[in-house]
Chain A
Amino acid sequence: MSFGSPYFTLPDFTYHKPKTLREALELLEKYGDEAKILAGGVGLIAFMKERLVSPSHVIDIKGIPELKKLEYRKGEGLVIGATVTFSELESYQVIREKYRALYQAVKLASDSIIRNRATLVGNICEAIPWVDGPPPLIAYGAEVEIKSLDKVRRVPVAEFIKGPVEIDLEPGEIVTSIHIPDVPSGARSGFVKFNVGSEFALVNLAAYLSLNEEKKDVRLVYGAISPKPVRALEAEKILSSEGDMRTLIISAAVKASEELEVISDVLASEDFRRHLIKILTMNLLTELVEGG
């Protein structure tokens, strides 16, 4: 996201390019609040150019080998390192096959120039409401791994993003990776967004359905409609109830369009967003139900 900057130059800063995670953590520890991590830089540089952040130390993590990890293990799931780009995710076969919602979100994000640089971890750390990364991650129940010199912790993505430009990250900490649980066979997921006449989505939606176990597991996660991505819990409940899924879609879509808190902003009004929530939900769920 960019808001427009009167400046051509960046504020003064010292650039660091650590070669190991340890080195990076030491720098973060040392500079605390004064430091910012640079991954793809798509978000950070724009924010710096606009003087929304002016860190005195910029720590480029692209030279750290262990953050490049992109790995799937059956039963354990997918690990996406902090410097893995959208383009790398797009061409990773497992994602295309097993994690459709993530695949579609990544593929539909912006254009290839941005996708070649932007990282998924950067996308969630930037924590702006209109991006496409968070909804699928939340739908899959993904967690971020956070490290500092003295500890490691894991936080669900849904909790990690606290609001616009606000994340659960202390000075001295870095997000090392995203962990997405394995998806049971037969589970389906998908992602849609509406961005006609807009660079960013007015509404985006990731859905996850797991139907073949005794209990239905349904998750609907909406982005761009509120300060942070939200699940439509009531709508999920409707979809999880007895009966043919196809007969539940309309009431779920209507519920979702009513139950959530929705904002008006420069891209769209609250009313139009609610309307789109309904249409997109019907579309995506029908597609998922038909697709299996």
Chain B
Amino acid sequence: MEKLTFKYIGKPIPPYDGFYKVTGTAEYTFDIELPGMLYAKLVTSTVPHARIKKIDFSKALQIPGVVKVVTGKDFPYRVGMYAGDRDLLAIDKVRWVGHPVAAVIAESLEAAEKAIDLVDVEYEELPAVFDPLEALKPDAPLIHEKMEEYRHSPAFNPIPGTNIANKFTLVRGDVEKGFREADVIIEEQFYIPHVSHCYMEVQNVVAHYHLDGTVEIWTSWQNVAPIRQIMALSLGIPHNKIIVRIPYVGGGFGGKAGLGWEALVTILSKEAGYRPVKLVLSRKEQFTVAAVREGFYGFAKAGFRKDGKFIAYDVKFILDAGAYADYTVNVGRAVGYSADGCYEIPNIRVESLTVYTNKIPTTALRGFGYPESHWVLEQIMDRAAKKIGIDPVEIRRINLVKPGISETCTGERLREDAGNPEKVLQTLLEEIEWNTPPEKLREPWKIRSKGLALFVKGPAQPPNAAASAILKFNEDASVDLLIATGNFGQGTITALIQIVAEEFGLPLEKVRVDYIKDTHKSAYTWQTVGSRGLFTDGIAILKAIEDAKRQIFRVASEVLRCPEDHLELVDGEVRVKGKPWMKIPLQDIVMGYTYPNGNSIGGPVIGRGVFMSTHTTYLDPETGQGNPTIFHTFGGAAVEVEIDLLTGEIKVLKVVQALDLGKVINPLLVKQQMNGGSLMGLSIGLYEQIKFDERGWVVNPNFTNYYLIRIKDIPKEVVRKTIETPQSDGPYGARGIGELTMIGIAPAIANAVYRATGVKINQLPMNPENLWKALKEQRPDLFDEALKKFIESKKLAEVRA
């Protein structure tokens, strides 16, 4: 790694799977058709909270082609990864509109879809609760009566008898004292609505329960390992009898992590007489049945000294987790311990409650609680700056963490090489031209403004989340890399291939990673989430490379009669350092070396390597203190916006994102990540919102009424900047990037609006109606003036009077 020039590392290598995708030959779960395969369709609840009195499916069974109808009573399993709260089909009770109550299995999708309409479910409705603040009240309807029986991970703290799925607390310093010393106090409430992941490929699964008890699964999911683990624990099938395969995946964004439909479809396959069964969700079901990102409240009180120092922060987060919170409890934890962002706050108290309501279940979404904590914190910074009378940049400089010196709110000392937040900030300022005032417009009811936000994020994972890699050589010294790293569009695998090719001096084509991830064949990795793939799996691969090299050098040293540490691997050859004519081609070693007389030494080379974090810990349940993460990526976003004061429209003209990635392994992929993340951040910031009616129904479960960013909305300029402060234990010094670009956009826009107008938008999305309302409430004068200017410039002044 001391190498200074690289052949592949740091080069814009195109994604290895691009060819298959653009030629349409990439195989997705949706393409899997097995002989004798049946189709499943879910019957879902039409009421938000009710006891199931009766399910009558006799008429459904009369539809030709219907094989079976099953209900939750048939298999009362409780499944999950963190909270362990989930059923496969509703048992006794439904908890949201969309809760699957029965599944029809049929010879064709047509028959299954006809049959679901003929399943009559009789409900006895129970009082429902839709708002988490209501759900916290003592007399609120209880959504999970048997919470104490759920098998939850030790990292969480559910409170049976309430609707609290997890309570996270963090205390550091003395906030009360901090507030007493504060000159300026900011108190605000924030809100973020539910949003959907909107990946192109909807969730779909094929499962085949074989007669011998082996289960084969194909699924559109991010990770193979947790599926097997969850199924083994909840269904009692031995791990080695469960084979989970993931082919190409059309996007995940966190929505395909943790628990999926695999356990259900497996059971359906068994129930249907050991025939393979396929379940495909429709887009509507993605909005009403699958899990989405939680709704979020943030109640913040922040104290600053008049010199700009942030000295006390008391914040309460309330997550609207919906009917099931299996993964969201961990979002609740992450939002809690990321409350301090990239600032040093000596006195801090955080309470983060993940709360059940009778709405759609929720899960991870790219950013995992960090967009939420930063939506609050980064706006607080600008509000405080204004109140104190200093520049938003200045207040950030004053409070910015100093790697090597500062501790985060969990009491973790930042490593010296954690990154360079100061340089991130500087880069933003240069690129957005912070000190150049924005242009004044010819339409004076429109104004331009600039805003920025900083952020930091690391993977939110259990302390023992491991990764491993196996690489084996073929006769021609090509390499098969057996890894389970999820491949759902991020490009990680391409970067991992670059590492192998670099280290062995092989052409890229000689390194192959099968597109199918397979619990049976790929080396274990905990999950590909939290921007960790390149870091954790990259380290495992580097170790595997070391291991293979050792085997290769051992043999070569005997053959070349030279100590191992005098050998090097260059261009597919083992050479004696300084004597390049003394060499053996790799292919003469990787299956064992054969002397001219036939004597052979060594043998097929197989490298193995693992990643295991040794310094991470669980967090203390009372104080939230500990080491939660394996790296921190620092970054920032700056925007220039144009605000139409008359219609409330915010047009984002320019976006700048700057990230300290340690080392850019592949600048092309980084560029694509930064473009994609910027647009997703804009879309969620400006437009997206799942809306519910008063009966808990989603009113916009489709892409005509749930607006996603379109080509016409894309800013003219998206500037991407990377900084490289290497982290010594990362692969080539690299840190993760995947989720980072999601975090800063929304607060940067809100800050730009606040800077120009003084209008606080504490609520997403920042769509025209929301801004118009805020403007009218907070700055009616500004609004009237804009209208006056509009009238003047259109020469409409009324002459009639």
Contacts and interface: CB of A to CB of B under 8 A. Distances in A.
Interface of A: 1-9, 51, 194, 196-200, 243-244, 246-251, 266-269, 272, 275-276, 279, 282, 286
A267 B705 CA distance: 7
A199 B704 contact: yes
Contacts of A8: 109, 113, 280, 282
B800 A286 contact: no
A228 B44 CA distance: 33
A191 B205 CA distance: 47
Contacts of B701: 3-4
B767 A2 contact: no
Interface of B: 42, 44, 109-110, 113, 116-117, 280, 282-285, 287-288, 646-647, 649, 686-687, 691, 699-705, 707, 765, 767-769, 772-773, 790-791, 794-800
Nearest to A11: B114
Contact of B703 (A199, A250, A268, A275): A199
Contacts of A200: 704-705
A196 B285 contact: no
A251 B800 contact: yes
A275 B284 CA distance: 32
Contact of B796 (A1, A279, A282): A282
Given A196-B767, A266-B700, 5 more contacts: A4-B284, A4-B287, A197-B765, A247-B797, A247-B800
Contacts of A268: 769
21 contacts: A3-B701, A3-B702, A5-B284, A6-B116, A6-B284, A7-B282, A9-B113, A51-B117, A197-B707, A197-B767, A197-B768, A199-B703, A199-B707, A247-B798, A247-B800, A249-B796, A250-B791, A266-B705, A272-B772, A282-B791, A282-B796
Most-contacted residue by chain B among A4, A9, A194, A244 (CB, 10 A): A4
Given A3-B702, A6-B284, A268-B769, A282 B790 contact: yes
Contacts of A194: 647, 768
Given A5-B282, A9-B113, A197-B768, A250 B796 contact: yes
B796 A286 contact: yes
Contact of B702 (A4, A196, A197, A269): A4
| Ranked 10 nearest A-B pairs via Cβ | A4-B702, A4-B284, A4-B701, A247-B799, A197-B687, A272-B769, A199-B704, A197-B767, A286-B794, A196-B649
A75 B506 CA distance: 78
Contacts of A3: 701-702, 705
A51 B687 CA distance: 29
Contacts of B800: 243, 247-248, 251
B647 A198 contact: no
A2 B283 CA distance: 12
Given A9-B113, A268-B769, A197 B686 contact: yes
Nearest to B801: A247
B767 A7 contact: no
A196 B700 CA distance: 17
Nearest to A247: B799
A1 B765 contact: no
A194 B647 CA distance: 9
A247 B646 CA distance: 20
A9 B106 CA distance: 14
Contacts of A199: 703-705, 707
B690 to A, nearest CB: 11
A268 B689 CA distance: 13
Nearest to A251: B798
Nearest to A268: B769
A200 B691 CA distance: 16
Nearest to B765: A197
A5 B800 CA distance: 54
Contact of B704 (A1, A6, A275): A1
Contacts of B283: 4
A203 B230 CA distance: 49
A246 B691 CA distance: 41
Contacts of A2: 702, 704
A197 B772 CA distance: 14
A9 B109 contact: yes
Contact of A6 (B44, B646, B707): B44
A4 B638 CA distance: 36
A9 B110 contact: yes
Nearest to B110: A9
Contacts of A249: 796
A246 B707 contact: no
Residue in A6, A250, A266, A279 with the greatest tally of chain B CB atoms within 10 Å: A6
Contacts of B768: 194, 196-197, 272
B649 A279 contact: no
Contacts of A276: 647
Nearest to A286: B794
Contacts of A275: 772
A279 B687 contact: no
Nearest to A285: B796
Among B110, B280, B703, the most chain A Cβ lie within 10 Å of the Cβ of: B110
B293 to A, nearest CB: 18
A2 to B, nearest CB: 5
Nearest to B783: A275
Contacts of B765: 197
Given A5-B284, A197-B686, A282 B704 contact: no
A279 B707 contact: no
Identify which of A5, A194, A197, A267 gathers the most chain B CB atoms within 10 Å of its CB. A197
Nearest to B713: A197
A286 B615 CA distance: 68
Given A4-B287, A7-B113, A251-B800, A246 B282 contact: no
A198 B703 CA distance: 10
Given A194-B647, A198-B707, A250 B798 contact: yes
A279 B647 contact: yes
Contacts of A272: 768-769, 772-773
A244 B796 CA distance: 10
B647 A246 contact: no
Q: Which of B42, B646, B647, B701 has the most CB of A within 10 A?
A: B647
Contacts of A7: 113, 282
Of B42, B704, B767, B795, chain A has the most CB atoms within 10 Å of the CB of B704
A269 B794 contact: no
Nearest to A276: B647
A236 B116 CA distance: 52
A269 B796 contact: no
A6 to B, nearest CB: 5
Contacts of A279: 646-647
Nearest to B773: A272
B324 to A, nearest CB: 19
A238 B691 CA distance: 39
B792 to A, nearest CB: 12
Nearest to A267: B705
Contacts of B284: 4-6
Nearest to B702: A4
A198 B701 CA distance: 14
A157 to B, nearest CB: 24
B72 to A, nearest CB: 19
A41 to B, nearest CB: 16
Residue from A5, A196, A244, A286 with most neighbouring chain B CB atoms (10 Å): A196
A6 B282 contact: yes
Contacts of B113: 7-9
Contacts of A1: 704
A246 B796 contact: yes
A246 B796 CA distance: 6
B99 to A, nearest CB: 13
A5 B282 CA distance: 7
A186 to B, nearest CB: 22
B609 to A, nearest CB: 44
A2 B647 CA distance: 26
A50 to B, nearest CB: 9
A67 B470 CA distance: 67
A282 B445 CA distance: 14
A21 to B, nearest CB: 33
